[in-house]
Amino acid sequence: MSETWTMDNDKKRDVIKVGSRKSELALIQTRHVIQCLTEVHPKKEFEIVTMDTKGDKILDKSLPKIGEKSLFTEELELALESGRIDFVVHSLKDLPTTLPAGMALGAILKREDPRDAVVMSKKYKDKTLSSLPKGSVIGTSSLRRSAQLSRNMPHLKVENIRGNLNTRLKKLDDENGPYAAIILAAAGLKRMGWKNRISQLLEPEEALYAVGQGALGVECRESDWEIRSLLESLFDLETILRCVCERSFLKTLGGGCSAPVAVASSLKKNELTITGAVWSLDGQTLVTDTVKSKFYLPNDDGEPPRKCPYQEPRLYCSVVPNKVSSISLFAAEQLGIKLANSLIKKNALDVMSQARNEVLDSK
């Protein structure tokens, strides 16, 4: 399936092919990226090429029990590697911290709200999680969310729910269904135009969020300089620094969807702060810490500090530097590593290993 957008400044390539999952949310996100690009390159022509991923096809198992990386990206990355498409739009939280050889994140767009959102059933529309009756069923496919719920809201019962946003909301709205509420990323609901379905936004003090949640990442071939140049206009400085830090944290821990790992980050007055945490599956064991660091940020004219002309630019957790200062990107990466190492000293790896083993034993 494909759809074409007509827009070219320079005719190096007749049509730029953009990969996307087939879900409504994925297509909304992909069209948003194209719209942002056409504002800078009004004559470029884009064609959206859609495909199903393994994560879209396997809906009868929870994500951790499938037990594979790249559940929502592998098929798209194979098409990118073969040249059938030129770049892919991802929800950054779905993208592994290590990309296949030759692939890179050519852009990270300005982040939407990274928080988790509670959507209540009609029966409990005026309730919050804390005021729901004991034993109320909360739907989520995330170990991160279920661990935090089990720890912070022990009166609730957590059950797995899979499917795209439309499917999950339909299950919630089923009067004969089991769910009192479901928890979703606020960003996805807002992008779908369903902000009015949000009953409660969970602050980081109540629930840390997934690495990269709320941000869109654009994956391309590292060697494709035409596309990398095209994508430069999409970068958002605050988002890229926060997300590089978050991804560096997760990469150092070796985490993923098979263990409950979460973060919260902020950039204020040139200081980046990140909190990270690891839980046991039942939420009773928690390992957490917060670290912060000052940053070199662009001057008022938007020019970043000069890079050394004798050094080849490298990737930072698969992110290309483009116009962002390598000094700042390196500092963000190191801050994430510092946080991970702090948790590792507190036995976070043992907690994660136990969680993974419990997931495998439950298959």
Determine the residue type at 13: R
| Cβ-contact 5, 43 below 8 angstroms | no
Distances (CA, A) of 141 to 61, 107, 185, 204, 216: 9, 28, 12, 19, 21
Give which of 104, 130, 110, 109 is closest to 118, Cα–Cα: 130
**Residue 152 contacts residue 207 (beta carbons within 8 Å):** yes
Asked whether 351 and 280 are in contact (CB, 8 A), the reply is yes
Residue of 94, 113, 116, 224 marked catalytic: 94
Partners of 287 in the β-ladder: 278
Conformation bin of residue 270: beta by default, left when phi > 0, alpha when psi is -120 to 50: left
Query: In terms of C-beta density within 10 A (0-12 exposed, 13-18 middle, 19 or more buried), how is residue 115 classed?
Result: buried
Report d(CA 286, CA 351) in Å as an integer: 8
Q: Which two tokens stand for residue 238?
A: 């605050």
Helix (H, G, I), strand (E, B) or coil at 272: strand
Side-chain-facing half-sphere of 245: CA atoms under 13 Å: 29
315 within 8 A of 222, measured Cβ to Cβ: yes
Annotation says 301 is catalytic = no
Residues with catalytic function: 94
